[in-house]
Amino acid sequence: MINWIILIILTITGVFDLWLYFSDQKTLSQGWIFDKIGVMFGPPKWLMRAIMIVLLILTWWLFGGIETFIKVLIGIIIGHLCWQD
């Protein structure tokens, strides 16, 4: 059951991030949340990427035993964070 919950959360997050990208807004890794809460915080890109990668790795570790598909999906997200400008 926990596998399905994680899969649904990751899918919703990915779709939301794509919607932000195609609507010409900042994506989650570009600091969208800071814009919404009104914090004028522009961290360096490497810091945002590092935070996202650490959170994803901790999620993987905490929910050990996650099916292979979810591990691959987290790997794709990490790759996306490292690939973008």
pTM for the model: 0.54
Question: For residue 55, what are the contacts with CB-CB under 8 A and spacing of at least 6?
Answer: none
Summarised one tens digit per residue, pLDDT across range 33-80 is 777 787 776 667 787 778 877 877 777 666 665 666 677 677 777 777
**Distance in angstroms between the alpha carbons of the first and the last residue of the chain:** 36
- Cα–Cα distance between 57 and 54 in angstroms, integer? 5
Reply yes or no on whether the pLDDT at 84 is more than 70: no
Summarised one tens digit per residue, pLDDT across range 17-27 is 888 888 988 87
